[in-house]
Amino acid sequence: MDEFMQVAIAEAQKGLCEGGIPIGSVLVKNGQLIAQGHNKRVQENNPILHGEMDCLYNAGRIGSYRDTVIYSTLMPCYMCAGTIVQFKIPKVIVGESQTFSGAREFMEAHGVEVIDLNLAECITMMQDFIREKPQLWHEDIMEL
């Protein structure tokens, strides 16, 4: 498995251990890890602090994002996809989209290359979480 996806998975597991939603993300520029983050909606009582948003926040101002790749353990939602498109991040590598299909078509329609690795580890992590905390999951994806 790609070393950067391993870091994203570790971030997701960190979020789960904190009582949050297990979604992790990393930002890579020129083959170097720039930032990492995880979903902190529960931990920080912040409805927009998804994994990708936390990662980008942690990256800070890096100028252009045109030569970056963002990794996420789960297909980005429309909010995160909108940020990816706005920042002109050209490539997203995703752990899985089986448990949440997200905004793949939106990103691709705006020129973002999306690679879905369909990783069993990511699928199992999300399925277990959804089974154990369905209300929290439905809150996260606004399906209450």
* Residue among 71, 53, 73, 48 at smallest CA distance from 125: 73
3-state DSSP of 74-109: CCCCHHHHHHHHHCCCCEEEECCCCCCCCCHHHHHH
Is residue 69 within 8 A of residue 89, CB to CB? The reply is yes
Which tokens belong to 127? 């399925």
To which H or E segment does residue 69 belong? strand 68-72
* Residue among 90, 91, 89, 100 at smallest CA distance from 123: 100
18 is known as an active-site residue: no
Instruction: Please identify which of the residues 11, 52, 113, 139 carries the catalytic annotation.
Output: 52
Q: What is the DSSP letter of 31?
A: T
So which residues are the catalytic ones?
52
